[in-house]
């Protein structure tokens, strides 16, 4: 499985630790930047992660910034990207089970062990594929396609 990861300048430390963790656990990781603590315009990097999902170069994405909010906004503007801004393990599970999210966004301030647990749950949880969740996700896709 290929996991894409992106951060702004505030997410550099957490991103480096998550890359180590994911690779240690057998995942192939694609780093979409930034790779510097110098202030950057995060949308430029978020777009690259989104393209990785859209072009089937990665299976899931992780986006880190100061709050996780900016990254999630950018990614959710891209057709085919379903990014959930998560803050806890329950949200990591439910965004997959109910919403079939393919990207999670998190605050760079989340404690490392908590971030690892959330990422594990996100990656290992499957979409429930029940009629009500399919219907609701199709409604989201209709909005995406038709405004």
User: Which of these is catalytic: 9, 83, 95, 98?
Assistant: 98
The answer to whether residues 26 and 82 touch, using CB atoms and an 8 Å cutoff, is no
User: Which of these is catalytic: 9, 24, 65, 83?
Assistant: 65
Half-sphere exposure (CA, 13 Å, Cβ side) for 73? 7
Query: CA dist 51 to 4, 16, 91, 116, Å?
Result: 10, 21, 24, 24
24 is catalytic: no
Query: CA dist 120 to 48, 88, 114, 140, Å?
Result: 23, 12, 10, 26
Residue 92 and residue 117: Cα distance in Å, rounded? 9
What is the separation, in whole angstroms, between the first and last Cα of the chain? 33
95 is catalytic: no
Look-up: residue for tokens 């009629």? 131
Residue positions annotated with a catalytic role: 65, 98
């Amino acid at each position: 499985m290929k996991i894409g990861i992106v951060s702004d300048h505030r997410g550099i430390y957490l991103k480096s630790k998550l890359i180590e963790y994911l690779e240690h656990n057998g995942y192939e990781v694609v780093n979409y930047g930034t790779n510097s603590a110098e202030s950057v315009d995060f949308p430029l990097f978020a777009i690259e992660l989104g393209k990785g999902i859209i072009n089937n170069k990665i299976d899931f994405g992780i986006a880190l910034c100061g709050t996780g909010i900016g990254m999630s906004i950018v990614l959710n503007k891209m057709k085919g990207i379903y990014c959930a801004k998560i803050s806890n393990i329950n949200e990591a599970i439910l965004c997959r089970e109910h919403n079939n999210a393919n990207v999670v966004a998190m605050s760079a301030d989340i404690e490392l062990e908590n971030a690892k647990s959330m990422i594990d749950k996100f990656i290992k949880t499957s979409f429930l594929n029940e009629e009500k969740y399919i219907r609701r996700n199709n409604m989201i896709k209709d909005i995406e396609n038709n405004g």
